[in-house]
């Protein structure tokens, strides 16, 4: 079935008992047993809940996985993922990851004995150079945040399979609508469902999806023990969000492409990072492994003052963290998402005081363009 249809229906029947077209919210912490040693399939909501299970089945089928686990946030998903590893295990990760993932690894995982190398994973030679006997996984985002580096998923998959290590892809930026890493050889995908999957800037959620039964079993065991599960009501909100994922992603992308081209021609903009522009270094790999480029744009303004005036000058676009919702948001990576990354590391990546990151929402292109134009103009 086409992914547009799967977004609406998943591959599961709706609630059989009532025929409800919108899957019900089973707001119950616990479930009665029909007899001694018997279960309805649901015992306690931390372990499983019908509403959350419905969402998990939709996510599994969208990503081409066999199991999906829904968490209270993207970071809760990453925290559970980190529990797959033991002290002494080494992980190679992209050097331009979501800032809080870096903080998680550096401040919590390292304390627990895990070892990391952060490299530009768009360069295969750099990944190979970091491999050692203790290496247990490669963790990437593609495209990355905010520099939009693109990593070749099938190539990394060849390498991780040859070395018998896990390959994990944070697929938040493109969603399964545009990119399905498990089908390209990854073992686990990670999502912040807070972003495009929910899509309305109103709910936190996270996912881990896998097509390996051994990993699913380990993750389920950690999941029910740690208890960072998604609530029934928030599960329902994400189910509702995913129904419109296909139409939203198409429109987000269409407007992002127009805005990226327009920004390229603006005198107060020095550089535009959008993977859908043919001169972007990751354009060819993106076009090969994904069916779309998404709607995240970063751009360098003429100077620090221009960047600051744009943040304060926009009226329609809101200066706020997060991305992937119907409302366009602009962020200042140097002060927000990447504030905890050491300054030298940030500078080496080009994340400086002139860089802005835009999550293109569903407003009309003309209104977003006029809003940015006015804010850039004010800074003359
Ligand atoms: C937002 C985000 C996360 C963290 O998700 P939360 O839902 O905010 O906890 C992880 N990875 C990426 C790429 C993100 O954008």
* 119-142 confidence digits (pLDDT tens): 999 999 999 999 999 999 999 999
Q: Which of 171, 194, 321 to mutate to test the pocket of ligand 1 (most atoms within 8 A of CB)?
A: 194
Task: Dump strand ranges (E) for 26-159.
Answer: 67-71, 90-94, 115-119, 135-141
**CATH of 245-378 among 4.10.1240.10, 1.10.645.10, 3.90.1150.10, 3.30.450.40:** 3.90.1150.10
Q: Are 239 and 203 in contact (CB under 8 A)?
A: no
Going from the Cα of 50 to the center of ligand 1, the distance in angstroms, rounded, reads 25
Average pLDDT for 155-159: 98
Are domains 3-243 and 245-378 of this chain identical in fold?
Answer: no
Mean pLDDT of 348-369: 95
Band (pLDDT 50/70/90 cuts) for residue 109 is: very high
pLDDT bucket at 186, cuts 50 / 70 / 90:
very high
| Confidence category of residue 346, pLDDT binned at 50, 70, 90 | confident
Helix (H) or strand (E) holding 193: none
Whose Cα sits closest to atom 8 in ligand 1? 74
Q: String of b and e for 2-36 (b: at least 16 CB within 10 Å)?
A: ebeebbeebeeeebeeeeeeebebbeeeebeeeee
Contact criterion met (CB below 8 Å) for 122 and 103? no
Using the mean position of ligand 1's atoms as its centre, give its distance from the Cα of residue 268 in Å: 30
Tell me how far apart the alpha carbons of residues 108 and 353 are, in angstroms, rounded to a whole number: 28
Domains of the chain by residue range? 3-243, 245-378
d(CA 151, CA 94): 9
Class of domain 3-243: alpha beta
Kindly report the protein residue whose alpha carbon is nearest to atom 5 of ligand 1.
74
pLDDT value at residue 345:
82
Q: What is the pLDDT of residues 11-60, one digit of tens each?
A: 776 667 788 899 999 999 999 999 999 999 999 999 999 999 999 999 99
Ligand 1 centre from 38 Cα, in Å?
A: 38
| Alpha carbon of 90 to ligand 1 centroid (Å) | 22
Residue 379: pLDDT over 70: no
Mean pLDDT of 132-154: 96
Average pLDDT score over residue span 83-91: 98
Answer whether residue 91 shows pLDDT above 90: yes
What's the average model confidence in pLDDT over 293-320?
97
* Averaged confidence pLDDT in the chain: 96
Report the residue among 70, 98, 197 best suited for mutation to probe ligand 1: largest number of ligand atoms under 8 A from its CB.
98
Q: Could you read off the pLDDT of 189-224 as tens digits, one per residue?
A: 999 999 999 999 999 999 999 999 999 999 999 999
CA of 196 to the centre of ligand 1 (A): 11
Pocket test for ligand 1, best of 104, 142, 192 (most atoms within 8 A of CB): 192
pLDDT surpassing 90 at residue 84: yes
Q: Which residues line ligand 1 (CB under 6 A)?
A: 73-75, 98, 100-101, 141, 145, 170, 172, 192, 194-195, 204, 206
- What pTM, to 2 d.p., does this model score? 0.97
Instruction: Please identify every residue annotated as catalytic.
Output: 46, 98, 170, 195
């Amino acid at each position: 079935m086409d992914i547009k249809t799967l977004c609406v229906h998943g591959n599961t029947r709706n609630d059989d008992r009532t025929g409800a077209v919108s899957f019900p919210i089973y707001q119950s912490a616990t479930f009665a047993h029909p007899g001694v040693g018997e279960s309805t399939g649901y015992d306690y909501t931390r372990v499983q809940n019908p509403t959350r299970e419905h969402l998990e089945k939709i996510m599994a089928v969208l990503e081409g996985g066999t199991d999906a686990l829904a968490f209270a946030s993207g970071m809760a998903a990453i925290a559970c993922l980190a529990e797959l590893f033991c002290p002494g295990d080494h992980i190679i990760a992209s050097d331009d990851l979501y800032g809080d993932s870096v903080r998680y690894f550096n401040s919590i995982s390292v304390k627990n004995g895990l070892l990391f190398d952060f490299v530009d994973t768009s360069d295969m030679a750099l990944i190979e150079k970091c491999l050692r006997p203790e290496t247990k996984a490669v963790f990437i985002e593609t495209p990355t945040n905010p520099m939009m580096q693109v990593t070749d998923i099938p190539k990394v998959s060849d390498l991780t399979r040859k070395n018998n290590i896990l390959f994990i892809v944070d697929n938040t930026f493109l969603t399964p609508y545009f990119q399905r890493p498990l089908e390209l050889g990854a073992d686990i995908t990670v999502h912040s469902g807070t972003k495009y999957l929910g899509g309305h800037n109103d709910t936190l959620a996270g996912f881990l999806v896998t097509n390996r039964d051994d990993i699913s079993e380990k993750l389920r065991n950690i999941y029910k023990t740690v208890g960072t599960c998604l609530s029934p009501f928030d599960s329902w909100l994400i189910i509702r969000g995913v129904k419109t994922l296909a139409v939203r992603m198409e429109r987000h992308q269409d407007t992002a492409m127009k805005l990226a081209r327009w920004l390229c021609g603006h005198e107060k903009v020095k550089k535009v990072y959008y993977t859908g522009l043919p001169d972007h270094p990751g354009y060819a790999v993106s076009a090969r492994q994904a069916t779309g480029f998404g709607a995240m744009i970063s751009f360098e303004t003429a100077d620090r003052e221009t960047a600051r005036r744009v943040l304060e000058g926009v009226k329609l676009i809101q200066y706020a963290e997060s991305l992937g919702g119907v409302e366009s948001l602009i962020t200042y990576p140097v002060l927000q998402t990447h504030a905890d990354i050491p300054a030298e590391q940030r500078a080496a990546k080009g994340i400086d005081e002139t860089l802005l990151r835009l999550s293109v929402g569903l407003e009309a292109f003309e209104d977003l363009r006029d809003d940015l134009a006015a804010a850039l103009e004010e800074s003359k």
